[in-house]
Chain A
Amino acid sequence: MMKMKGPFSLLPLLLALLLAAGCLRGRQPGQRGTGQKQVIQNSGSDTMVNLAQAWAEEYVRIKPAVSVEVSGGGSGTGIASLINGTADIANCSREMTFAERERALQNTGKDPVEHLVGYDALAIFVNLQNPLHEITLEDLAEIYGERGRIERWSDLGVQPPDGKRDKIIIISRQSNSGTYEYFREAVLGKTRDFRLGTIDMHGSKDVVELVARTPGAIGYSGMGYATDRVRMLRIARKHGETAYAPTVPNTQKGIYPVARPLFMYTLGEPEGELRDYLEWIHSPEGQDLVVRSGYVSLSRTGSHAPAQGEEHQP
């Protein structure tokens, strides 16, 4: 008798669990796999991977029936996975290009839908030994741009950071990172290319690390990657205009010149668990995680708020 009791006493518990699971997913009939965990595949931008991971971990606590699997690889990789069906959500630190939209429509028959989920402010980093505290977008373009005029710290009117070598060591990113593309668009404009001879690092964190180790260096990365071993510069659009620090309020107000929107893309309007997840990301709780990951949250909710950083491009 005692032996029989063991397994049977578990039955009500199991039933209750099944029922609970059923209630959680109750609104969507015909969702695949009753009773087993539903998995949302989320991949894309390396800039967003920490944030996406934070969302995924928190969401599993709220809704144990759903698990979100996050992988990085870059915005382009995320969109490619969305198109070939290995991802449900693509994280993207830039807008999807027309060609990518075309390809998605061709391959899947569905239009990708854009969801604005937060902002990323790019910070310009210099070594702590560097006396520079602010810079203009114009000067940045002359430092980074092809055939740019500024090659030395003295061109900017500052002493060389390590006392001797005047040459600016320009640190950039590999040519297909979303951060590289956004910096090019925001600082160099639509047509100009980067100058040759920049040090192209393979990750946001590596840029900050290298600036911290190299006195004469300048580099750019997401605000969230700042450490206390580097200094972030205040940025003005033009000479004579006010320079703004890369802070959360400045980004939300749209006055910090190098901020960009962060997107998540789905194929078609999201349904079921996918919709619930994206709604939760836009909720105060989800947006709180944006701030805690070092990014800037949406000032207002709604998935199609205009990208402030883009609007103010000169």
Chain B
Amino acid sequence: MTPGRRHLEPLKEWLIERFIWLCGVSAIFFVFAIFIFVFREGADYFFSGFKAGEFFTSIEWYPTSRTHVRYGALALITGTFSVSFLAMFLAVPFGLGAAVFISEFCPPRLKEGLKIVIELLAAIPSVVWGFIGLTIMNSLIVRLFNAPIGLNMFNGAIILALMSVPIIVSIGEDALKAVPDSYREAAVALGCTRWQMIFRVLLPAARNGLLAAVMLGIGRAVGETMAVLMATGHSIRIPHGVLEPVRTLTATIAAELGEAPVHSDHYQVLFIIGILLFTITFVINITADFIVRGIGRK
């Protein structure tokens, strides 16, 4: 029995190794498969009738017009960027602040409680967030800010910030926790105050992890669909202020793909928007990667 089993040991090892390799490689495979699928659905139109000039410079999005169909996505692109930027403007300071607090200042018992609550926050489905935006935030914004309409960029950004803060907090906290205690001890031994230690030692030491946390937060904000569809007002325009309704790329796909006839121009343009979203996240990730490496080299 035992010698036989010992004989099988290398095989088992090999199988496990292959399996783990497959798990790792499958991620690459899936990303490429999705990209190819999305591109294939939109490719016909992309190479024949697609007017890139109109798409990127016109705000006139009339996919179902009877007389003059126009696919200008500028307002949608602006919408996605403005909502995501405002959301990050709110979420990054809060998220990183909370991460620093939990990792450095928080008494241990409160820490456990906080972590559980924050993870719970991350588990709330986006449609529930959207519903909160549509009902509670809607009335609140009208009352507090005297806005003409409660469904607007600010509403969407708050909802998105609330959705990405938990991600930034938990990953940021992990990054701070990974900084060896010897750094802290050294800083304190040199006579640093707590704030000096955090700003001069901890944050620079954990920058890669913190940047990853922020990037994942941005990814969530750019890619979120249901919540922004419900909370932003879904209105095609270039916003002149944060209290104006906007419409994002993702919400447009969600609202229109269901009834766009398969392989029609409209359907394919929606897939081109998908490619655009893919490209945006790709560029964000690559940039983040370069930034991290750039910091690392210094």
Contacts and interface: CB of A to CB of B under 8 A. Distances in A.
A167 B258 contact: no
B149 A77 contact: no
Given A174-B255, A193-B65, A201-B234, A214 B149 contact: yes
Given A175-B256, A176-B256, A196-B237, A202 B229 contact: yes
A176 B64 contact: yes
B134 A206 contact: yes
B66 A191 contact: yes
Contact of B258 (A74, A196, A206): A74
A77 B68 CA distance: 24
Given A169-B149, A196-B75, A200-B247, A77 B258 contact: yes
A176 B260 contact: yes
A76 B261 CA distance: 8
Interface residues of B, number: 34
Nearest to B152: A199
A77 B259 contact: yes
Given A176-B64, A191-B67, A202 B259 contact: no
Contact of B59 (A76, A169, A196, A200): A196
A210 interface: yes
A191 B150 CA distance: 32
B237 A174 contact: no
Contact of A190 (B66, B138, B235): B66
A175 B151 contact: no
Chain A, interface size category, equals 20 to 34
Interface in B191-249: 229-230, 233-237, 245, 247
B234 A76 contact: no
Interface in A151-199: 165, 167, 169, 174-177, 181, 190-191, 193, 196-199
Interface in A187-237: 190-191, 193, 196-202, 206, 209-210, 213-214, 216-217
Interface in A91-129: none
| Most chain B CB inside 10 Å of its own CB: which residue of A193, A216, A217 | A193
A202 B148 contact: no
A73 B258 contact: yes
A165 B259 contact: no
A202 B255 contact: yes
Contacts of B258: 73-74, 77, 176
A111 B3 CA distance: 74
B230 A213 contact: no
Given A191-B66, A193-B62, A206-B134, A199 B255 contact: no
A181 B63 CA distance: 12
Contacts of A201: 234
B75 A167 contact: no
B234 A199 contact: yes
B174 interface: no
Given A174-B234, A213-B142, A196 B255 contact: no
A213 B259 contact: no
B68 A193 contact: yes
A214 B150 contact: yes
Contacts of B139: 213
B259 A76 contact: yes
A197 B78 CA distance: 14
A270 B149 CA distance: 48
Contacts of A176: 64, 255-256, 258-260
Contact of A197 (B64, B151, B235): B235
Contact of B148 (A73, A77, A165, A209): A165
B289 interface: no
B237 A197 contact: yes
A94 to B, nearest CB: 12
A80 B139 CA distance: 38
Nearest to B72: A196
B66 A200 contact: no
A197 B235 CA distance: 5
A216 B142 CA distance: 12
A47 to B, nearest CB: 14
A193 B70 CA distance: 11
Interface of A: 73-74, 76-77, 80, 165, 167, 169, 174-177, 181, 190-191, 193, 196-202, 206, 209-210, 213-214, 216-217
18 contacts: A74-B258, A77-B258, A175-B64, A176-B256, A176-B258, A176-B260, A196-B59, A196-B61, A196-B237, A197-B237, A198-B236, A199-B245, A200-B236, A200-B247, A200-B255, A206-B134, A210-B149, A213-B138
Given A176-B258, A197-B236, A202-B229, 8 more contacts: A169-B148, A174-B256, A175-B255, A176-B260, A181-B64, A200-B234, A213-B139, A214-B148
**A-B complex: 8 closest residue pairs judged by Cβ atoms:** A176-B259, A197-B237, A76-B259, A200-B234, A174-B255, A191-B67, A175-B64, A199-B233
